[in-house]
């Protein structure tokens, strides 16, 4: 049986895109990937991830990567669609692109929602053809299934490439894009207003809103 694993990277940061990846492999390739040390991307160094990503792209039956930029995340939030729904929609797009002529596929998705059943039901409404699919959504699927681990590596490597592009444009002080990164926090404080129209920041994130509220208050206090 073919297995399609789907996972995300960059779900939480205030800077840069969220990435989703899908990786389709058979059971033989799954065993090979396991021997090579394919695992959840968070458990690997960047160098090891990049090495394994090259092997995954070469040996997988096929793979797809979807990039969701901050402007799209903000746009859907303004329309009342939350990030969990965005992720379901993008996961379905990956499934629909891959599900063409491969026969029976077991789909395993690393579920971002605490309510697995509700999220899985929504995901299925966005899939064009379910007749040959066995869909399973799980927490920690990236740790428990090699195909999802492979997808997590592809997603993480793409996220890092996208951040490298941003660092070339805005400087390395942009950091990782995560709010827990002191570099990112300082960059946000220093440049939030300067680059607010560049599509760099997720402006529906509380981190952005709180910082900009503080900045506005400070400006008012200066008069």
**Residue 195 sits in which domain range?**
169-214
Quick one: 9 and 89 in the same domain? yes
Q: Is residue 220 part of a domain?
A: no
Q: How many CA atoms lie within 13 A of 7 on its CB side?
A: 31
Give the pLDDT of residue 74.
Answer: 84
Give the pLDDT of residue 144.
Answer: 96
Residues 6 or more apart whose Cβ sits within 8 Å of residue 114: none
Give the pLDDT of residue 193.
Answer: 86
Give the pLDDT of residue 162.
Answer: 97
Residues 6 or more apart whose Cβ sits within 8 Å of residue 30: 3, 146, 147
Query: Are 208 and 202 a contacting pair, CB within 8 Å?
Result: yes
Q: Is the dihedral of CA 187, 189, 195, 197 positive or negative?
A: positive
What span, in angstroms and rounded, lies between the C-alpha atoms of 134 and 125?
Answer: 14
**Domain CATH code at residue 188:** 1.10.10.460
Q: pTM (2 decimals)?
A: 0.90
Structural domain total, the chain: 2
What span, in angstroms and rounded, lies between the C-alpha atoms of 136 and 149?
Answer: 15
Low-confidence ranges of the chain (pLDDT < 50): 212, 214-223
Quick one: 97 and 177 in the same domain? no
- Beta-sheet strand order (sheet of 2-9): 62-68, 18-25, 2-9, 105-110, 133-138
Quick one: 36 and 107 in the same domain? yes
Domain boundary among the residues 130, 145, 166 is at 166
Quick one: 173 and 96 in the same domain? no
Quick one: 122 and 64 in the same domain? yes
Q: Which residue has the tokens 């300067």?
A: 194
Give the pLDDT of residue 170.
Answer: 94
* Residues 117-143 pLDDT 10s: 999 999 999 999 999 999 999 999 999
């Amino acid at each position: 049986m073919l297995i399609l694993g789907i996972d995300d990277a960059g779900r939480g940061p205030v800077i840069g895109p969220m990435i989703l990846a899908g990786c389709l492999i058979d059971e033989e390739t799954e065993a090979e990937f396991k021997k090579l040390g394919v695992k959840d991307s968070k458990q690997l160094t960047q160098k090891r991830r990049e090495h394994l990503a090259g092997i995954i792209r070469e040996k997988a039956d096929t793979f797809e990567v979807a990039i969701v930029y901050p402007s799209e995340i903000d746009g859907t939030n303004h329309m009342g669609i939350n990030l969990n729904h965005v992720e379901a929609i993008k996961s379905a797009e990956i499934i629909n692109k891959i599900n063409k002529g491969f026969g029976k596929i077991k789909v395993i998705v690393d579920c971002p929602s605490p309510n697995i059943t509700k999220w899985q039901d929504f995901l299925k409404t966005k899939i064009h053809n379910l007749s040959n699919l066995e869909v399973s959504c799980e927490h920690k699927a990236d740790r428990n299934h090699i195909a999802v681990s492979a997808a997590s590596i592809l997603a993480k490597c793409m996220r890092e490439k996208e951040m490298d592009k941003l660092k070339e444009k805005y400087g390395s002080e942009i950091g990782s894009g995560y709010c827990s990164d002191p570099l990112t926090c300082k960059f946000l404080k220093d440049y939030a207003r300067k680059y607010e129209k560049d599509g760099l920041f997720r402006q529906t994130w509380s981190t952005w809103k709180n910082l900009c509220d503080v900045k506005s208050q400070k400006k008012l206090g200066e008069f």
